[in-house]
Structure 1
Amino acid sequence: MIHLARTLTEKIEKLTGLPVKRLMKFGFVGGSGIVVNMSFFYIFNEFTSFSYKISFVFAFEISIINNFILNTLWTWKDRKTKDKKEKKIRFFKYHLITLSAALINFLILWGLVEYFAFNKYLANLIGIFAGMSINFLVNHKWTFKKIP
């Protein structure tokens, strides 16, 4: 079964040119980020006097740090750098891209809650998935680009 999945992944990569294995890793890291985000979103909503909007900001920031570390160590481990300046630049780029995705996430969360009376947790989850594709592509091409 594992051999079949690996073969299928390689064929899809050859046909589309997309880094499917890396995208899958990014998805797993993102999944852990969702757990981190939703856990802290819940904690801040239920155990503080924060609004769902403020809870979103804190939960998202914590998940950004979690995901950057995991993506650096696993998803793009072949593109590591020992240069401290480059590491800081990567974190800044990653943060910028993820904040752009966060804006999309927040607008979806806010719009669904305020205008369509969605459950705030479901709305947040929908927003998280909406930003993932852009997040991966820009990080792959810019933040973690191959260094010649």
Structure 2
Amino acid sequence: MNWLELIRRILDIRFIRFAIVGGLGVFVNQAVFTVIYAVFATATEPVRANIAAVIGFVVSCFTNFLANDNWTWRDRRRTETSFFRRLVMYYFVALGALTIQLLTLNLFITLEWTSPWWANLFGIAAGTGSNFILNHFWTFRQHNGHQQT
């Protein structure tokens, strides 16, 4: 595979759509994180940031699923798989990304590298690659002998 082919595959329109949806999801996640972080102002730092991160994840994951199901992987929507099952599969994949996010968040907070807000943002970025790959090849995989795109 030559370099141009590799770049084309990396910048595939599906990943661009995923990134756009993810960007909106980051906005939702960070907005919810900021509000919840303020609400739990009396909690200790690691607990406060983790509660805010998990609630931000749950909300943004749902909005991201809706957008990815209806736009990013619309052509792969499996008629034999219900909306609820796809949603559960999506959340299962996202739990892996959340694990990466929380590990990054807690590492950055513990080592005092940056603020909790930025630590959460770095954590989201760290989980993006695994999230795309697993959703592409499992949650929204092609069926009926169609070629993977």
- What displacement does 1:114 show? 1.2
Alignment-derived partner of residue 37 in structure 1: 29
Distance of 2:140 and 2:58 partners within structure 1: 20
Amino acid at match of 2:78: T
2:59 to 37, 59, 62: 62
Identify which range, 48-57 or 72-81, moves more after superposition: 48-57
Identify the residue that residue 5 of structure 1 maps to in structure 2: none
Q: Distance in 1 between matches of 2:22 and 2:113?
A: 26
Structure with more helix by fraction: 1
Identity of aligned residues (%): 31
* Equivalent residue letter for 1:70: A
> What is the match of residue 102 of structure 2?
106
Deviation of 1:117 (Å)? 4.2
Post-superposition offset of 1:27: 0.1
Give the letter aligned to residue 66 of structure 2: I
Aligned to 1:25: 17
Structure 1 residues without counterparts, runs of 5 or longer:
1-10
Letter of the 1:37 counterpart: N
Following TM superposition, by how much is the alpha carbon of 1:147 offset from its aligned partner in structure 2, in angstroms?
Answer: 1.7
Note if 1:118 corresponds to 2:114. Answer: yes
* TM-score between both structures, scaled by the size of structure 2: 0.83
Matched residue pairs, number? 135
1:96 matched residue in structure 2: 92
For structure 1, which segment, 17-26 or 68-77, has the greater mean C-alpha deviation from structure 2 after superposition? 17-26
Map of 1:139 onto structure 2: 135
CA distance in 2 between counterparts of 1:47 and 1:101 reads 25
Structure 1 consecutive aligned stretches of length 4 or more whose deviation exceeds 4 Å: none
